[in-house]
Amino acid sequence: MRGQRGQSMAEYLVALGIGGSIIAALTLTPCTVAGSASGCVPTLIDALHNNYEGYSAAVADVQDYGDVEVAAPPEDEGEVEDDDSIPGDGGKDDPNKVPTEALNKVSYVYDDQGNVIGTVSGNTIYDLSGKEVGEYSFDPETGKQIVKIDGKEVTGVSIGSVFVDQDGNEVALKAIVIGGQVRGFGYEVDGKFYDPLKGELTKVPDGAQAVATRQVMVKDASGNANLFGYEVDGYIYSLSKVQVSGETYATQKVADGELVEMLLSQAATIASWDGYSRCIVRALDWVNSELNGQYNFTKTEDDGSGNQVTTTQNAVVESPTNNLGYIDSADMGGSCGGRWLLTEGASDWTLSGPY
């Protein structure tokens, strides 16, 4: 157990909205070297280790916004009717009610490159040392989130959060596997299991194991990376399979896709894939549904008039954007580890697997 250093987290990260709730979101894209806004840090892990070790458990009370990839905007603070389920809101709380054990959660504001700007509390933004650096606002008519740092607006912002343990270390989402079957997702700390939405203590069936996952991303029309789901042993599970309220872990999850590693060899193909991950997601049973069961296929064929045209199978795999998602190189852990390996030749493709 690490000792607490400096100010406690509670001194500068207060509860969002009413009654100590903070903005909820399940996962975050990896941070990159920051340089566009005051208070940015190189990585989220660095921020957690260097600034939030041993912080107060007062941030454990979180609010559930459902199946979202980034947090909903904070609500305006104001007078509301007393809710006995919210401690300290001025009403008569049930003294005999035992609060649900839950993981702590820290919320962040990110710029359009995924860099951490700071933490958000209500309409105030603090840098990672606790200094007030800006303002947050949300326009309900346009749906625009506005962040101003030192009086200057930062566009393209998003809000997200991570669960952390009592030492301030990020807790990674795990797959709950029983008898080789993925039954659901959640968090595991010191032998205890917590649900994937609120991070609250939950029960899992006997024999359950917590298995590592990797984030699967997808790019929107503007080129921004968003979370699609998680990978477990080469299979992909979308957020709808991961973010289940009241998960019981009673039945096996059906995967949405399979991981494929692209092994490129031709200069033109390599150039077209520049900047794109070669560890991609294709639909479940894609070999039959997209390649018609062909493990070796040509890139072009004669159309009967002496013209060489692209084959259907090549059209499926040649584009770096024609897939369900990808695993970023930073999250690969040294290798793609896909179920399939698609190897490019001068005039054809060869598929091997499943692994």
pLDDT digits (tens, 9 = 90+) for 264-312: 999 999 999 999 999 999 999 999 999 999 999 999 998 888 898 999 9
- How far apart are alpha carbons 38 and 135 in whole angstroms? 12
Residue 79 has pLDDT above 70, yes or no: no
* Structural element, H or E, at residue 129: none
- How far apart are alpha carbons 173 and 307 in whole angstroms? 51
* Segments making up each domain of the chain, as ranges: 9-164, 174-242, 257-352
Better-predicted residue by pLDDT, 76 or 106: 106
Q: Are 216 and 239 in contact (CB under 8 A)?
A: no
Residue with tokens 């921004």: 224
pLDDT digits (tens, 9 = 90+) for 153-203: 887 777 778 898 888 888 999 999 999 999 999 999 999 999 998 899 999
Q: By CB neighbour count within 10 A (0-12 exposed, 13-18 middle, 19+ buried), where does 123 fall?
A: middle
Better-predicted residue by pLDDT, 195 or 105: 195
Q: How many other C-beta atoms are found inside a 10 Å radius of the C-beta of residue 53? A: 18
* Structural element, H or E, at residue 344: strand 340-344
Residue 102 has pLDDT above 60, yes or no: yes
Range of lowest pLDDT (89-98, 116-125, 128-137): 89-98
Q: Per-residue confidence at 94, pLDDT binned at 50, 70, 90? A: low
Q: What is the pLDDT of residue 270?
A: 97
pLDDT digits (tens, 9 = 90+) for 228-259: 999 999 999 999 999 998 899 999 999 999 99
Q: Are 260 and 316 in contact (CB under 8 A)?
A: no
Q: Are 174 and 186 in contact (CB under 8 A)?
A: yes
Better-predicted residue by pLDDT, 245 or 18: 245
Q: Give me the DSSP letters along 189-245.
A: ETTEEE-TTT-BEE---TT-EEEE-EEEEEE-TTS-EEEEEEEETTEEEEHHHH--T
